[in-house]
Structure 1
Amino acid sequence: MFQRTSYVDNIHVKSISYSSIFQIGDSHYIYQLSRAIAVQREAEIYYDNEGEFSNYRVFTQPIHFEPIDEPISIQQHQLHPIIKVNNMNITGLSSSSMLNIGSSKHLSLEARVKHIRQIFPKENEHNSNS
């Protein structure tokens, strides 16, 4: 992995949350995982097992990565191994996202969210035309 020096003048990050990383410099191994169950409901009715990640397939099914079969030939010659950042303005990083000013070797970033909407059915839609 290339070794470079990162120079940063000014970075403003408003919000970082849920397994996100803001890093200046090189990294070798990064593993990030964010899981969430988001429930929106009209009535405050809670069920005993709704907070268990294992109850929802989205959290247990494997993610299949396609192998990269393309031949890649890279030749690099860095006369000045410096990463220079003048100004950055970041609104937010969330759910296993990453802002890295530097080199990264091995990354694994994963975010899984199950959204549940519990909305009451509309009353007698079929009878309203009578």
Structure 2
Amino acid sequence: MLNRTSKVTFLKVQFIGTGSTLQIGDTHEFFAREKVLAVQRYLPNYFGNEGSFKQEDFQLFREPVPRLLPETGVYSAFYHENPVIRVRAIKIQSISSSAITHIGSTGRIDTETRVKHIRNLPPRNSQ
């Protein structure tokens, strides 16, 4: 991991959602996971079981995620004349769904978000 110093004068984040992270400082490894089932209905009819679902009922949540191949032995070298990264201001509207905003050095990042969005709309001829 390259060692550099990050200096940020101003940071403003409006919203940080579920499964998301704002990390300030160095991190060796970072892992984030989020699984979402979103149900949207044309009419607000609630049956009482909307908050409980079985992940095994949806193939999306069972499928393995393809992983990158391991490193192939490519060697590289970097020289940073200035070891400090200076940023005047960072303004972020939203961080969502297993996303990371990180100020600092990171060795390894592994994130995964799975979203199943179901929309119950009326038939076309009923509008």
Question: Normalization by structure 1: what TM-score?
Answer: 0.81
Please give the alpha-carbon distance, in whole angstroms, between the structure 1 residues aligned to 2:108 and 2:74: 18
1:46 equivalent to 2:47? Answer yes
SS of residue paired to 2:61:
helix
Please give the alpha-carbon distance, in whole angstroms, between the structure 2 residues aligned to 1:26 and 1:11: 17
In structure 1, stretches of 5+ residues that fail to align are 126-130
Q: Tell me if structure 2 keeps the 8 A contact 1:6–1:24.
A: no
% identical aligned pairs:
30
Aligned twin of 1:84: 86
Counterpart among 67, 75, 78 of residue 77 in structure 2 = 75
Worse-matched range after superposition: 90-99 or 17-26: 17-26
Q: What letter matches 1:121 in structure 2?
A: P
SS of residue paired to 2:56:
helix
Q: How well do the aligned residues superpose, as a CA RMSD in angstroms?
A: 2.4
Q: How does 1:103-122 map to 2 (within 5 A)?
A: 103-122=105-124
Please give the alpha-carbon distance, in whole angstroms, between the structure 2 residues aligned to 1:38 and 1:118: 11
Worse-matched range after superposition: 24-33 or 68-77: 68-77
In structure 2, stretches of 5+ residues that fail to align are none
Q: How does 1:1-130 map to 2 (within 5 A)?
A: 1-41=1-41, 42-46=43-47, 48=49, 51-67=53-69, 72-123=74-125
Could you say which structure has the larger radius of gyration? 1
Deviation at 1:111, TM superposition (A): 0.7
Answer 1 or 2: which has greater strand percent.
2
Q: What letter matches 1:67 in structure 2?
A: L
Please give the alpha-carbon distance, in whole angstroms, between the structure 1 residues aligned to 2:104 and 2:121: 46
Please give the alpha-carbon distance, in whole angstroms, between the structure 1 residues aligned to 2:111 and 2:86: 25
SS of residue paired to 1:15:
strand
Question: Normalization by structure 2: what TM-score?
Answer: 0.83
Report the number of matched residues.
Answer: 125
Q: Tell me if structure 2 keeps the 8 A contact 1:83–1:101.
A: no
- CA distance change for structure 1 residues 48 and 13 in 2, over 3 Å: closer, same or farther? closer
